Each structure stands twice: as C-alpha cells, then as structure tokens.
C-alpha cells in the first residue's frame, strides 16, 4: 500500500509532505517500506531536510546532567526539553543515558558543543563522543595517536568541535601545552600544540602553524561554535578577550570584548547566542553570596559579527544569583543551574524566575539549543 502511494504521487509532493512532519515520524516511516527507507536515507533528502530545518526556530533544549547511578557510580543523562505556549518547560522524550560515561565521581568536567549542522560533541580532556541526538546515533572517537616525548609533560588546555563548510566535514580539535620541569619540579616554558581530528577521513593530525603565544585558556572556560569558527573566553596580558579558531583556515584570531563591569569578588563571562548574534554574559563570582543591591549580570550583544563598535549592552539584571549560566533560549529565557543542583529559568522580559523539577549534581549541567537533523555520522572502517 505504501509503495503504491509512492508510485501514485510525484516524489516532490511526498518530500513536501515529509518536511512538515516531526522528525520522529519521518524516522518511523523508514520501517514502513523499503522505498521510504531509501528515500529518507538518501543524501538528497537529508540535504533538503537540513535546508528546511535550518530556517526553523530553536524549540528544543538538550540538557546533560550527572546523576547518581548507584552508591559508587555516577552516570551522565541527556534530557530533551521543550515548552508549551506559556513557556512552561516539559520533557518531550524519555531521558537517555549517555554511553561510555559511567564514573566514580560526578561528570562535571565535560563540554557539550553544538556544531549547528546536526551533530553535537560531548568532550572530556581525552575523550570525545559525537552524537546525532535526533537519530540516537553516536560515535566514540579514537584517541589521539601522538605520544609525548620522554621527559616531557602535557597539559590539555581546551578543545572544541565544529563544521568546516568548505570541505563539508566535522572537526574536533584539542589544544595542549607540552613542557618540561626544572629540577624542583616546576614547569618550564613549553610549546603549544593543536591536534585536529577530521570525521570524514578518520584521521588525527597536528597543526604546524600554531602561534606559540596563544592567549591563556582553561578547560572549563565558556566556549561555543559560531559563524564557522570556535570561540572561547581567554586572557592575554591580564585582560580578557574572545579567542577564535577558524574551522576552515585553522588560524587563530582575537575578538575584543566590550567594556563590561568589573566585580570585586571576581568577574566571570559566558558566551551565548541571542537574536542570532554573539552574546556575552558578564556576572560576579558568588562564592561569598550575592548582594542584590550591588551585584548584577550584564548581557551584551555583538550586532555585527567581529565589529567591536557593534557591541551593545542589552540587559542589566540586578540580584540574579547564578554561577552556572547554561543557555539563552528563545532569545529571552536564561537557563542556569542553582548551587543546590536544580535547573532554573529566568524570563528576561517578565523578570520572572522559576525553579524547575530537574536536578543534577552541582555544576554538572550543560545545555544547548538544538534542531532535529538527519545528519549521518560516518562509521569507522
């Protein structure tokens, strides 16, 4: 019967109808007939679906959190969140245990990165798992094959993930410092190394043109993929900047940060996306508690990418006690994790804060906006 429908109506009409269905229904159709399976798996349909989905709004949040699995182990869990017309958050799919992430301690040293092209990465210092969260396919990447010379040490500073539109491939990269120690055990000046993994050809390689004086990076500094480049909060000569790594040219460059407020307890920054623009959150370190009369969060937007003069301060929020901002959703809802571990939403328009019934180990939550793509993950040969 299904094959009869496919023969009766033009393929263009069938595709037009499929594009208006939620992805979970499209995936079910793969099991209905061989004809549907072939169509949905084809690069032609995947590309059309990608173009169609790209223009849609971000309606979903992917949340990763760490939870107790038993007395001695912790597990990482993906939660899929959306909202109703009144912006009440609800789970839209059952929670999914993240493969290969059972630990004896909370999973809180990872990065959750969206490539904006259908795949996401969950990175730890030496391991990376790529996911298409919509199709539930994943791939655990092979470790870097490069060895550290005898007598040297390696300190992994950061890493990232993104899409190279020129070669039509995904890249994972890792930045480290290789150094020696003096006779007292203190590190001596080392060299910066950048290792790049290309998914399509399943190969790690080293860059040979790295600036040896890269800005200072730390693993958990806020970072994100945007506009074909990966971005981090970094510091150079005592001032903060945004460090960028172009996914195509594989060259580093800097973006100057706006003249934000500075806080006596320490100033923290978070990179986000708002109104399709690069967004910077500036807020105080709250280790000693918050003073609602003086402490505040600033939200800055770079209206024209890489143009310093286009930075504008969009919001100033007084007395919002957050140390772990996660994501800006729908351009006006800020999600963050409280010190007690609960997911919190703050409505920038209504100045309204809500504690949600979603709990994770403190500092373990990561979140991204995501769209549902059919992007395949290349299998290892």
Residue-wise DSSP of 76-108: EEEEEEEE-TT--EEEEEEEEEEEEEEESS---
> What would the two tokens of residue 365 be?
């939550």
CA neighbor of 27 nearest in space, from 143, 134, 153, 172: 134
Cα–Cα distances in Å, from 74 out to 67, 104, 147? 6, 6, 30
Buried b (16+ CB within 10 A) or exposed e, 46-55: bebbeeebee
Residue 35 has φ and ψ, to the nearest 5°, of -65, -45
For residue 349, the Cα-to-chain-centroid distance in whole angstroms is 25
Domain with CATH 2.120.10.30 in the chain: 57-370
SS3 175: strand
Q: Distance (Å, rounded) from C-alpha 227 to C-alpha 115?
A: 10
Predicted confidence pLDDT, tens digits, the chain (381 residues): 455 555 666 778 888 888 888 888 888 877 777 888 888 888 888 888 888 887 776 578 999 999 888 777 888 999 999 877 667 788 888 899 888 766 767 677 889 999 888 899 999 888 999 999 888 899 999 999 998 888 888 899 999 999 999 999 999 999 999 888 877 777 787 888 999 999 999 999 999 888 767 898 988 889 999 999 999 999 998 899 999 999 999 999 999 999 998 887 788 999 999 999 999 999 988 765 556 556 789 999 999 999 999 999 999 998 887 778 999 998 999 999 988 899 999 999 999 999 988 999 988 999 999 888 888 886 554
**Number of neighbouring beta carbons within 10 Å of residue 205:** 15
Q: Distance (Å, rounded) from C-alpha 273 to C-alpha 333?
A: 12
365 contacts 325 by C-beta, under 8 angstroms? no
Cα–Cα distances in Å, from 237 out to 28, 215, 234? 55, 8, 10
CA neighbor of 241 nearest in space, from 225, 263, 217, 275: 217
> What would the two tokens of residue 139 be?
């791939």
CA neighbor of 119 nearest in space, from 75, 172, 58: 172
CA angle 246, 247, 253 (to 5 degrees): 15
Tokens 């655990």, residue?
140
> What would the two tokens of residue 210 be?
């790295």
CATH fold label, 57-370 = Neuraminidase (2.120.10)
């Amino acid at each position: 019967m299904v094959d009869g429908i496919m023969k009766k109506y033009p393929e263009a009409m069938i595709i037009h109808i499929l594009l208006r269905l939620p992805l979970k229904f499209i995936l079910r159709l793969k099991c209905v007939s061989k004809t549907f399976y072939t169509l949905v798996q084809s690069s032609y349909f995947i590309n059309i679906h990608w173009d169609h989905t790209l223009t849609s709004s971000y309606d979903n949040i992917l949340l990763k959190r760490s939870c107790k699995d038993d007395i001695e182990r912790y597990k990482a869990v993906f939660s899929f969140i959306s909202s109703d017309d009144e912006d009440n958050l609800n789970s839209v799919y059952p929670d999914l245990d993240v493969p290969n992430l059972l630990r004896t301690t909370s999973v809180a040293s990872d990065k959750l990165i969206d490539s904006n092209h259908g795949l996401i990465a969950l990175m730890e210092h030496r391991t990376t798992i790529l996911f298409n969260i919509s199709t539930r396919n994943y791939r655990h990447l092979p470790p870097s094959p490069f060895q550290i010379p005898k007598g040297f040490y390696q300190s992994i500073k950061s890493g990232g993930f993104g899409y190279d539109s020129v070669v039509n491939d995904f890249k994972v990269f890792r930045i480290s410092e290789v150094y020696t120690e003096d006779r007292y055990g203190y590190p001596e000046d080392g060299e910066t190394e950048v290792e790049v993994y290309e998914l399509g050809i399943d190969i790690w390689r080293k860059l040979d043109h790295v600036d040896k004086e890269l800005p200072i990076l730390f693993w958990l500094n806020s970072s994100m993929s945007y506009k074909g480049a990966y971005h981090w909060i970094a510091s150079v000569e005592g001032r903060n900047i945004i460090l960028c790594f172009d996914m195509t040219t594989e060259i580093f460059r800097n973006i100057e940060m706006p003249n934000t407020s500075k806080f006596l307890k320490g100033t923290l920054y978070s990179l986000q996306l708002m109104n399709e623009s690069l967004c910077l959150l500036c807020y105080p370190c709250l280790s000693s508690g918050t003073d609602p009369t003086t402490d505040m969060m600033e939200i800055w937007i770079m209206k024209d990418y890489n143009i310093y003069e286009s930075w504008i301060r969009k919001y100033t929020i007084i007395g919002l006690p957050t140390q772990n901002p996660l994501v800006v959703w729908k351009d006006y809802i800020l999600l963050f994790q409280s010190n007690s571990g609960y997911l919190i939403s703050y409505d920038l328009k209504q100045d309204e804060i809500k504690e949600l019934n979603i709990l994770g180990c403190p500092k373990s939550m990561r979140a991204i906006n995501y769209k549902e793509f059919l992007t395949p993950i290349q299998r290892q040969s």
